Amino acid sequence: MTSKQMWLTHIVAFLAVLIVLNGCDQPKQKSKSVESLTQSTDYVFEPVVKGEKLAFPKDFGAHPDYRAEWWYFTTNLEADDGTQMALQWTLFRMATGDEESKGWKTPQMYMAHAVITTKNKIWRAERFARGGIGQAGVILSPFRAWLDNWAWRAQGNSPFPGRLEFADNEMEAILDISQGGSIILQGEDGYSKKHPLLDIASYYYSAPFLDVKGIVELDGKTYRVKGQGWFDREWSSSMLSKQQQGWDWFSIHLDDGSALMVSQLREKDNEPYFFGSRSWPNGKVVQLDNNQIRMNPVKYYGVQGKQFPLVWEIDIPSQFIKLETQVVRRDQWLPFIFPYWEGPIRVKGSHTGKGFMELTGYE
């Protein structure tokens, strides 16, 4: 059995364990991309508690007592020749709850995604590793988040300034990333509620004001690029109720200099639950609650045999924001082990800007 086949076997087994842990009353057509984040009936993992203060640099690192977390980076880039491209790099950590296992059998499993998009093509790759033998992990002093030779490194104990490097499948990137604004604590001081009634939440913070420059190579052609980036950190042991089907998430750099994050969690036979924020580089943050956001799908398109809402209206009257989103490419379905749609968007309306959209639970 090859190394890749071994890791696919581990992931399938991990998913099977999660399905058992989620209980018998889980909806039958639950999306694979949200299985591992659904409310569990066991108490192996640490709960997310309101009032817990986030602390840095500690919370740049890993939180192995929680069920899942990710280090998520996106950027819209422009090359010297005018070519527009977008890049996503994410490192996921998932725990099985088997605290006695070590080495190859460590309960800490890692997965990484790398995606580069232009108007005409998408390059994507996925990797898996265990964290117990040094093949993947996140450490501080100095900061490093890696899986194999994909790595985000910094000289200090913060990711910023830092360098992200990865290469796979006719794509390569070397990006220098510096912070141009404040860390934004989402929700109530980093406690991000995910349901109007149930005690389901994550710890969540963002760095939406990043300056990015570097080199990207695609199909043998080298581009010198620069642009704006967005970094999200989130960890939890239970981010969705058993009735919630997935989420629609947007991160947008508005051309007035502010950053907008809005999301809805969809629930069968109930209204979606909204949350978000608008922030500025000087540290000003306006938290947006369930009563302030309205997101409506305007137009669906068929992609890979599935229907996705690819045009949206986002309405936030308290911020005098009313936007319509447009995707750069319709076919941004990522057929990873946890499949989802994600790609770059443009917005118009009361404001203009660029960002990313992520749609889960449609498979």
With 0-12 CB in 10 A as exposed, 13-18 as middle and 19+ as buried, what is 229?
buried
CB 361 within 8 A of CB 34: yes
Is the domain spanning 3-359 CATH 1.10.1490.10? The answer is: no
DSSP state of 103: G
Number of Cβ atoms within 10 Å of the Cβ of 51: 7
pLDDT at 105: 62
Q: What does the pLDDT read at residue 99?
A: 58
pLDDT at residue 44, rounded to an integer: 74
Q: What is the mean pLDDT of residues 218-237?
A: 97
Q: Count CA atoms within 13 Å of residue 191 on its CB side.
A: 12
- Gap between the Cα atoms of 319 and 329, Å rounded: 28
Contact between residue 306 and residue 363 where contact means Cβ atoms under 8 Å apart: yes
Rounded average pLDDT over 246-254: 97
Contact 128, 7 (CB under 8 A): yes
Distance CA(93)–CA(197), nearest Å, equals 28
* 154-170 confidence digits (pLDDT tens): 999 999 999 999 999 89
Q: Grade residue 100 by pLDDT with cuts at 50, 70 and 90.
A: low
Q: What confidence score (pLDDT) does residue 38 get?
A: 47
**Residue 269 vs residue 351, higher pLDDT:** 351
CA-based nearest residue to 35, from 59, 56, 61, 14 = 14
- Three-state DSSP class for residue 245: strand
- Domains of the chain, by residue range, sit at 3-359
pTM exceeding 0.75? yes
pLDDT tens, position by position, 316-347? 999 999 999 999 999 999 999 999 999 999 99
Who's near 107: CB < 8 A, 6+ residues apart? 64, 95, 96, 97, 98, 99, 101
Question: For residue 243, what are the contacts with CB-CB under 8 A and spacing of at least 6?
Answer: 27, 267, 268, 269, 270
